[in-house]
Chains A and B, each alone.
Chain A
Amino acid sequence: MFGLIVRKELREILGTPRFAATFGVVSLLIVLAFYLGARNYGHARTQHEAAVAENLRQMEGLTDWLQVKPSISLPPQPLASLVSGISNDVGRNVTVMGLGTLRASQSRYNEDPVLAVFRFMDLDFIFRVVLSLFAILFAYDLVSGEKERGTLRLALSNAVPRSTWILGKLSGAVGALTLPLLVPLAIGGLLLVVNRVPMQSGDWLRLGLVVLAGLLYVAANLGVSVMVSALTHRSSTSFLVLLVLWILAVLVLPRSAVLLAARSVAVPTVDEGLSQLGRLRTQLWAEDRQAIDTFLQESMSGEPESPEAAASIVGRFNQFFQQRSEARSQALEAFEARLTEQRANRQMAQERWAFSLARLSPAAAFSIAATGLAGTALDLPRQFIDQARAYQEVFERFQKEKTGGRSSGGIQFAIRVASVDGEAPKEEAVAIDPQELPAFEFRAPSVAAVLHRTAFDLALLMLFNVLFFAGAFVAFLRYDVR
């Protein structure tokens, strides 16, 4: 009996022109998203590598590692081209100086606002907006439509328990709408392979989970549609109600949640931090300048008697200067770390607020899960800047090693001592080898960490499914079939 109902439901959905049309559109979109995502990734990869190479090339001819301020950038991630999240909104490039605040700048959208006008079409968008709408389109009249056509009366005039009937319908509808999606998704996966997108096994797993989350989300939409359909008696009413719910869940609730959170948890602006930092720097620098002046006054009371004396003065000065600047940079770093932490804490609080509110909408839960899995969620800028800081330390050590521990305060002193006979002491300038520069590698978080973070949202999606399906079930048991 159950099998019969499932088969009927499958045939009823799969055989309609409505299925052919929507499935065609969706397949096209999914394949297109994969194809363009892969091409886009390849293109971004080339561009990234070119930029890195160009960076190194520009260092050729330099003679001093102190002149080098490597610019590191966030390499394109294979999954980010499929689920872009906020990867286009965060700064991609960091200029690493020996010291000081690192700031990622030049987000893709800032650089190319054209892209921001319409944004990209990624899997997140296709599932969250397009497929959810189509799920509603298929399920809004699952119960009320049969009632209107009169087939429900006929069916239930047989010895069919209502529970069997609704369970059959639900499973048939879920099967009919989710299983066919696997075809374009598989083709998409194939396109990734063909286009030689370097997907690690971890990436495949994460992509698989994104798809799973997507299917769960589509099923949740089906569930809610059947539920509403079993609560109303006219299919036009149920569609209207579902459309309004869809608008609220997809367009309104997530955005309002964030804005509400932004209002209730104030985060200090970046400017404030920068300004405080700048003021501290000026103050420390003024103090140091005082000290340096005193030092110079004391040690350079007259013309140095000999080049050796001059050299010793320069040596002592450099040592002194180094000490001061190191102390200064330490103080600044500590201060900055405190500021950053404060801001990060506030941001986390805001995020918790916003997300726990937004998660009332399955669309938001899916989006959070998908971007989390793809590594393009809010952690991305934090991870990038953390790794950039780690690189900063590596680079600083490297610089010190290369320059024999000379000042790394970002300022260099070359006190030219013109000799009396007019011959400038020509330093033997040796070009540096840019290849020695330590490379920056962005490490995406491990699969385990990602799973740990997104488990909650995946569970939430399942919970939505359970709730909606149970709701549909109960609603149908009490449905007035007259």
Chain B
Amino acid sequence: MLRVLIEKEWKAVLLSPKFALTFAVAAALILLAVGIGIREYWAFESQQAAAQHLLAEEHLEQTSWSDLGSQVFRRADPLQIFVGGVHNDIGRLARISPRQAALLEQSIYSDDSILAVFRTFDLSLVVQAVLSLFAILFTYDAVNGEREAGTLRLILSNAVPRAHFVLAKFVGTGLALAVPLLLPVLLALLAVVLAEVPLDGSHWLRLMLFLLASGLYLTVFMAFGIAVSAITRRPSTSFLILLVSWVLLVLVIPRVGLLVAVHRVPVPTVAEIESQKAGFETRLRANYRRNLEDTWVVRQRAMAGLDAVDRVAYEDANLWRWLEEDDAARMQLETELERHTSRLDETLRHRKAEQERLAFSLSRISPASAYRLLAMRLAGTGVALKTRYEAAARGYQHTFARYVEESSGGGAGMMVRRRGGGHTGSFMGAREPLDLSAMPSFQAPREDAAMIAAVPRELGLLAIEALACFAMAFVGFLRADVR
């Protein structure tokens, strides 16, 4: 009996006049989105590779360890093809220098602002905004449409349990919408494979989870549509309710949640933090310089009255100690700076995390946000992408600093000490290109496990929402007046 009903639903959707048009639009959008994604993926990869190449060339011409800097480039993630997330919003490289915090800068949108005008387009957006709208379009009159037409009476004049009717609506419509969509999705996956996007096992797993989440998200809207159509009497009413709810859930609530969070948890800007850091550093360095000068005055004073020969002997005897003392002072300066910097950074990160939590928990009321957050987390293009890369960049900054220090033989060539007054050697060090063969390379961070670990909760949330809608449809219809 149930099968008969399901079969009828499935046929009813496939035969309905709106199916052909919506399917064509959906399929075209899916393919377009993935096509654009693939193009952007490779464009980004080649842009980053070119930048890396330019950097390597610059390195070849480097002659001094002291102004040797480096850059860390963000790698494209194959899954950004499907879920762009904040990929275009956050910087694509971080400059590594001993002085400055390694922060991602030069986002695609700030470099090529024209892309920011209308933003880009990815599969998650198609699912989130377009397909959810279609899901509503196919379910808004699922129950009350049949009641208005009178077919519901005819169906229920048979020995059909009402529960079966709702269940069949659900399964039949779901199958009719999902199965045809598999075709463009498979084509898109094929395109990704043909475009030689390097996908490994973890990528495939996450991709499948993303598709699962998309299905679940659309299920929520379908169940919601059926529920509203079971509760209201007229299709025009249920359509209005659903469309307004869609606007609220998909377009409004996520943004309002964000605005409220920004309002409630203000976060200091990086400019503020940097300015504080710079001020602290300037004061500390001035202090350090004064101390150094004073030390030297003391040391010179100790040599007062010695003749030239004794002077050299004294200097030679004490030089090592002095250097160690200076080094220690310098180290202390660095440590203090670092401590201050990391404290400030920590505070900032903390505030941001708090803001993020508030914004996301507020907006999670809407399945659209829950889906988007989940998709971004799975694709690794969420907010964590920035924190992840900046942490890795900081790590690399240390490695790089150590490498420079070791390679340059300590002191980083910062202090040109003039001994005995004579100008020796050329101005500012040697001019031969540096041997950078041993330079440590930056490893792009990957946190596959963390990405997947977060999935059950979000998927669970979507599943609960779907079940709640389904229960609503169920109860609504069991109590409905079918006359």
Q: Residues of A at under 8 Å CB distance from B?
A: 17-18, 21-22, 25, 29, 32, 36, 39-40, 43, 47, 50-51, 54-55, 57-59, 61-62, 67, 71, 73, 85-86, 89-93, 104-107, 109-121, 125, 129-130, 133-134, 137, 236-237, 240-241, 243-244, 247, 251-252, 254-259, 261-263, 267, 269-272, 275, 278-279, 282, 286, 289, 292-293, 296, 300, 303, 347, 350-351, 354, 358, 364, 367-368, 371, 377-378, 381, 416, 418, 421-424
Interface of A is mostly: helix
What residues of A have a CB within 8 angstroms of the CB of B22 in the complex? 240, 244
Interface centre among B85, B86, B303, B428 (most CB of A within 10 A): B86
Residue pair A71, B115 in contact (C-beta under 8 Å): no
> Among the listed A109, A137, A270, which residue makes an inter-chain contact with B106, where contact means beta carbons less than 8 Å apart?
A270
Instruction: Report whether B113 and A378 are in contact in the complex, using a CB–CB cutoff of 8 Å.
Output: yes
Asked whether B89 lies within 8 Å of A118 as measured between CB atoms, the reply is no
Min Cβ gap B203→A in Å is 22
Complex A-B, nearest 8 residue pairs according to Cβ-Cβ distance, in ascending order: A58-B279, A422-B300, A121-B255, A116-B89, A275-B54, A254-B118, A118-B254, A89-B116
Indicate if B426 sits at the interface (CB-CB under 8 A). yes
Complex interface bits, B371-393 against A, C-beta within 8 A gives 1, otherwise 0: 01100100000110110000000
Question: What CA separation (Å) do A86 and B107 show in the bound complex?
Answer: 13
A181 CB to closest chain B CB (Å) equals 16
Question: B74-91: contact bitstring with A at CB < 8 Å (1 yes, 0 no)?
Answer: 000000000001100111
- Let me know if A293 and B426 touch, CB within 8 A: yes
The answer on a CB contact under 8 Å between B110 and A90 is: yes
Flag B25-59 by CB within 8 Å of A: 1 or 0 each. Answer: 10001001000100100000001001100110110
Residues in A neighbouring B426, C-beta threshold 8 A: 289, 293
Q: How far is the CB of B214 from chain A (nearest CB, A)?
A: 17
Judging by beta carbons under 8 Å apart, are B300 and A109 in contact?
no
CB-nearest residue of chain A to B91: A110
B363 touches A118 (CB 8 A): yes
Q: How far is the CB of A255 from chain B (nearest CB, A)?
A: 5
For A133, the chain B residues whose CB sits under 8 A away are: 243, 247
A113 touches B297 (CB 8 A): no
The residues of B that contact A267 with a CB separation of less than 8 Å are 112
A118-B369, A364-B118 as given contacts; A105 in contact with B383, CB under 8 Å: no
Name the CB-closest residue of A to B134. Answer: A243
Q: Which of B268-276, B329-337, B406-414 contacts A (4 or more CB under 8 A)?
A: B268-276
Measured in the bound complex, the distance between the Cα atoms of B109 and A285 in whole Å is: 33
Task: Find chain B residues with CB under 8 A from A59 CB.
Answer: 279
Report the bound CA distance from A106 to B270 in whole Å. 7
User: Could you list 30 A-B pairs, sorted by A, with CB under 8 Å?
Assistant: A25-B247, A32-B259, A59-B279, A71-B271, A90-B109, A93-B271, A105-B106, A105-B110, A110-B107, A111-B270, A114-B383, A117-B383, A118-B363, A118-B372, A119-B255, A120-B255, A121-B256, A130-B252, A134-B247, A240-B22, A251-B125, A258-B114, A259-B115, A267-B112, A275-B57, A286-B63, A289-B427, A292-B427, A358-B118, A422-B304
A110 → chain B closest CB, angstroms: 5
Cβ of B293 within 8 Å of any chain A Cβ, yes or no, is yes
Q: Which residues of A contact B259 (CB under 8 A)?
A: 32, 36, 40, 120-121
Whole-angstrom CA separation of A114 from B362 in the bound complex: 13
Please name all residues of chain A whose beta carbon is closer than 8 Å to the beta carbon of B291 when the two chains form the complex.
Answer: none
Interface size range of chain B in the complex: 35 or more
B231 at the interface (CB under 8 A from A): no
Contact of B114 among A113, A247, A262 (CB under 8 A): A262
B91-118 vs A, CB cutoff 8 Å, 1 = contact: the mask equals 1000000000001111101111111111
Contacts of A286 in B (CB 8 A): 63, 431
B266 nearest CB neighbor, chain A only: A43
With contacts A114-B359, A367-B118 known, is A240 near B18, CB below 8 A? yes
- Expressed in whole angstroms, the minimum distance between the Cβ of A179 and any Cβ of chain B is 21
Question: Which B residues have a C-beta under 8 Å from some C-beta of A?
Answer: 17-18, 21-22, 25, 29, 32, 36, 39, 47, 50-51, 54-55, 57-58, 61, 63, 85-86, 89-91, 103-107, 109-121, 125, 129-130, 133, 137, 236-237, 240-241, 243-244, 247-248, 251-252, 254-263, 266-272, 274-276, 278-279, 282-283, 286, 293, 296-297, 300-301, 303-304, 352, 355-356, 359-360, 363, 369, 372-373, 376, 382-383, 385-386, 418, 421-423, 426-428, 431
Contact for B115 among A29, A262, A424, CB less than 8 A: A262
Partner of A137, one of B113, B114, B243, B274: B243
A117 to B137 Cα, complex, angstroms: 27
Q: Known: A117-B86, A118-B363, A130-B251. Is A269-B286 also a contact (CB below 8 A)? A: no
Contact present for B271 and A51 (CB under 8 Å): yes
> Least Cβ distance of A81 to chain B in Å?
11
Q: Are A89 and B109 in contact (CB under 8 A)?
A: yes
What's the nearest-Cβ distance from chain A to residue B114, in Å?
Answer: 6
* Given known A29-B252, A112-B267, A133-B243, contact A271–B89 (CB-CB < 8 A): no
Beta-carbon contact of A269 and B114 below 8 Å: no
Q: Which residues of A contact B109 (CB under 8 A)?
A: 86, 89-90, 107, 109
Known: A18-B240, A117-B373, A422-B301. A47 touches B25 (CB 8 A): no
Q: Which residue of A lies closest to B73 (CB)?
A: A271
Q: What is the distance, in angstroms, from B146's C-beta to the closest C-beta of chain A?
A: 15
Give 6 new A-B contacts, CB below 8 A, not counting A110-B89, A115-B258, A116-B90: A36-B260, A105-B106, A114-B356, A121-B251, A278-B58, A289-B426
- Which of B110, B268, B423 contacts A300 (CB under 8 A)? B423
Give Cα A324 to B428, complex, Å: 16
Complex Cα spacing A130 to B129, Å: 12
A36 to B418, CA, bound (A): 61
**Cα distance A278–B59 in the bound complex, in angstroms:** 11
Query: Which residue from chain A places its CB closest to the CB of B103 in the assembled complex?
Result: A106
Q: Report chain B residues within 8 Å CB of A279.
A: 57-58, 61
Contacts of B372 in A (CB 8 A): 117-118
Give the chain A neighbours of B271 by CB distance below 8 A: 51, 71, 73, 92-93, 106
User: B77 to nearest A CB, angstroms?
Assistant: 15
> B382 touches which one: A61, A112, A117, A278 (CB < 8 A)?
A117
Residue of A nearest to B108 (CB): A89
Query: How far does the Cβ of A19 sit from chain B's closest Cβ, in whole Å?
Result: 10
Q: Please name all residues of chain B whose beta carbon is closer than 8 Å to the beta carbon of A67 when the two chains form the complex.
A: 282
